[in-house]
Each structure stands twice: as structure tokens, then as C-alpha cells.
Copies of this chain bind each other. A is one copy, B any other.
Amino acid sequence: MPIFSKNYLTKIALNILETAGVPKNEARTITDFIIKSNLAGHDSQGIIRLTDYLNLFKKREGKLGIKIKIVRETPSTAVIDGKWGFGQIVTSQAMRIAVQKAKKSSVGVVSVRHCNHIGRLSNYAIIATKQHMIGIVIVNGTRVNVAPYGGCDPRLSTNPICIAIPTKKKPLVLDMSSSVVCEGKVRVKRNAKAKVPIGWLIDRNAKPITNPLHFYGPPRQSILPLGGIAAYKGFGLGFMFDILAGGLSGAGCSNRDNKCIGNAIFMEAIKIRSFMPLRKFYLEVEKFIEFVKSSKTAPGFKEILVPGEIENRTIKERNKKGIFIDNGTWSEIKNRAKELGINT
């Protein structure tokens, strides 16, 4: 049960990426984003992705040192071709463009195609909050993993949404897939040789799956849409998000025609000051948080947490106690390091 410090994992990831040929500045951005995900407790978007990224680079599907191209633009919108650069590199640039546009035009909507896996959406949405803006990121993907409501073949990606809203203290951050669980969490269970709860996965006959290996197939089985008895709502969200991300960007919905494993992205920055004086907005949000937290808790709960709060606590804790990496993931990373002649 290996536990590592943030600094150690950062060093290893950087070393692996740079030795594999990723330019220093790109390796730094990628490493920063994946280690931040581990720190926040979202191991599914953390260092577990490193071997995937190396494969992308090896197969020349993840391009290095690219310059993104704006293919269509207005003062408040842009469509960006990421030219299959690494997701972290392309998306952070694209979000900065959305923020620039919102600075001048109050709202910036940017659509991105031809972009590799971008990892945890929060990393990008919070770029907007630093400028007193609301950041929204919606994504679809090339790998179909999620069954439609009433169906049992995978037809959608886990199509997540992130909404980040600044406050006087830390931003509120909601970062969630439109499926009951994101694929990465199934992967974490697989690597830890653990079972998954009933209600996450079904097979091609709509029977529940609890063994994550069975999910990965081949053939790939399905994650259920979010919602339980109202799963048509989670399916509806995932379906509409697919069009926002894939339809507006030109990447394609459900990314069917793309050969690379990537994401298409819809991102938006909204300047709060164009709607409300900042002081008034922040005060109202503060009162709202207080009001929601004042609810009596249900049995088994100690307090009401607002979006992003649990992650902020995990960051504090993991900065102090370190990051636990499951054996499966760690042995994958060690093997890759060894291949590159790096000691772990």
C-alpha cells in the first residue's frame, strides 16, 4: 500500500514524461494537473493516467509542442482546433481565451475539437474564478461507456460538467459526470482488484455487473446514467452535453469518427460584474452557503458539504499525510519508469 508525498509523485511524473520526450513546459503542465487531481482525492484523473498519456505520445496520437488554431471567432466566441495536442496544454490555453473574451464581452464561449484527454475539468474551470468569473466546462469523449436510459449498449461517454463559482474564500467547484460514476473510478476499482457497488454498471442484457474487469471486456459494457429511479434525467444531461461539446466544436457527437482518444469541449466564462456588483454577489453566496449548511443532518452525516469542500479538505490532508496509490497503478508506473531507465 504505497503512500507518496506530492513532491515525490511530481518528481517521478516529470521525470517519466521528460525522459519519454515531452518538452519541459508541457511536462510541467501535465504533471501539475494530474498531481492536483490526486491531491484533491480524484485519483481517477491523477497519476493513473500517466501510462495512457505515454501511450498516446508513443502512438503519435498525442502531439507535442503544437500551437492551437482558432478556426472561427467572434468577440465573444471561438472554435479552436487543438491539433491533437495534449489535453492539459490545449484546454488551459482555450480557457484563457474564453476568459479574455469575457473580460471584453461579459461572456466568452469557446469550443474545442481535436484535443486529447483533458483529465479533471475543475483544473480549467477555476481559471475563470481567479478573474471573478463563473467558469463552465462540458465535455464529451471518444470512448462510449454509458448506456442510454432504457438501453444496454454503450452509446455516450461519461460526459461531465464542471461549474466553478468564485467566493470570497475558495471557489465552489462542482465537477461531475452525467453518469452515476465516472469511468476513472471504475478503473481505480479495477486496479485495486475491488468490486463496484450494484447500480454502477450493467452488461449487454441490462444485468448488474460488480466485477470491473467484466465492464472493460471486450466488448466494453456500460455505466448507468445518473439518477437512479430518475435516470432519464442523467441520460438527458449526458445527451445534451454531447451536442454542446461535440456538435458546436465539429468534433462530432459521441466522437464517433475520431481515431484518437480525446475530448471535445464546451467552455464558458461569465463576468459576474456585468450582472451584479461583486461585493453584493459574494455576500449573497456567503449567506446562501450558510443557509444550506444550517440544515439538520441525516443519520450518518456530520455536516452538509457544499461543492468543492470535500476536495479542499482532501488537499489539506494529503499535503500532510501523502497520497495513497493502489498497487496496480503503482506497478504500471514503475514498469514504465524502468523501461525509460528511471529509478523509482
Which residues in A have some Cβ–Cβ distance to B below 8 Å? 72, 74-77, 79, 105-107, 109, 111, 134, 147-156, 163, 165, 172, 174, 176, 180-181, 197, 199, 202, 204-206, 226-231, 233-234, 236-237, 239-240, 242-244, 246-250, 252-254, 256, 270, 272, 274-276, 280-281, 284-285, 287-288, 291-292, 294-301, 303-307
Q: Give complex CA distance A276, B74 in Å.
A: 12
Cβ–Cβ < 8 Å partners of A295 in chain B: 147-148, 151-155
Return A244 CB to nearest CB of chain B, in Å.
7
**Which of B149, B163, B227, B297 makes the CB contact (< 8 A) with A228?**
B227
Cβ–Cβ < 8 Å partners of A247 in chain B: 165, 276, 281, 284-285, 288
CB-based contact A236/B149 at 8 Å: no
CB-based contact A109/B107 at 8 Å: yes
**Which of B77, B109, B134, B197 makes the CB contact (< 8 A) with A229?**
B197
Q: Give complex CA distance A204, B76 in Å.
A: 46
A-B contact pairs, 28 of them (CB 8 A): A72-B274, A74-B106, A76-B107, A77-B275, A79-B275, A79-B276, A147-B295, A150-B297, A152-B297, A153-B295, A155-B291, A163-B244, A174-B237, A176-B236, A197-B229, A199-B229, A206-B298, A226-B226, A227-B227, A239-B307, A242-B288, A246-B284, A246-B288, A247-B284, A248-B270, A248-B275, A252-B288, A253-B287
CB-based contact A75/B298 at 8 Å: no
Q: Give complex CA distance A319, B227 in Å.
A: 31
Cβ–Cβ < 8 Å partners of A250 in chain B: 275-276, 280, 284
* A202 closest partner in B (C-beta): B298
Cβ–Cβ < 8 Å partners of A233 in chain B: 176, 226
Cβ–Cβ < 8 Å partners of A284 in chain B: 246-247, 250, 252-253
CB-based contact B280/A174 at 8 Å: no
**Which of B77, B181, B304, B307 makes the CB contact (< 8 A) with A274?**
B77
CB-based contact A240/B165 at 8 Å: yes
Report whether over half of chain A's contact residues are helix, strand or loop; otherwise say mixed.
mixed
Given contacts A76-B106, A307-B236, contact A153 B230 (CB under 8 A): no
* A199 closest partner in B (C-beta): B229
**Which of B79, B244, B249, B275 makes the CB contact (< 8 A) with A72?**
B275
Cβ–Cβ < 8 Å partners of A152 in chain B: 295-298
Q: Give complex CA distance A140, B161 in Å.
A: 19
Return A144 CB to nearest CB of chain B, in Å.
9
CB-based contact B180/A229 at 8 Å: yes
* A233 closest partner in B (C-beta): B176
Most buried by B among A163, A239, A303: A239
Sample of 12 further A-B pairs with CB below 8 A, known A77-B106, A152-B297, A152-B298: A79-B275, A151-B298, A172-B239, A172-B240, A202-B298, A226-B226, A239-B306, A239-B307, A247-B284, A247-B288, A253-B288, A256-B287
Most buried by B among A202, A227, A249, A287: A227
Q: Give complex CA distance A267, B309 in Å.
A: 27
Q: Give complex CA distance A107, B105 in Å.
A: 10
Return A212 CB to nearest CB of chain B, in Å.
16
CB-based contact A174/B239 at 8 Å: yes
Cβ–Cβ < 8 Å partners of A306 in chain B: 239
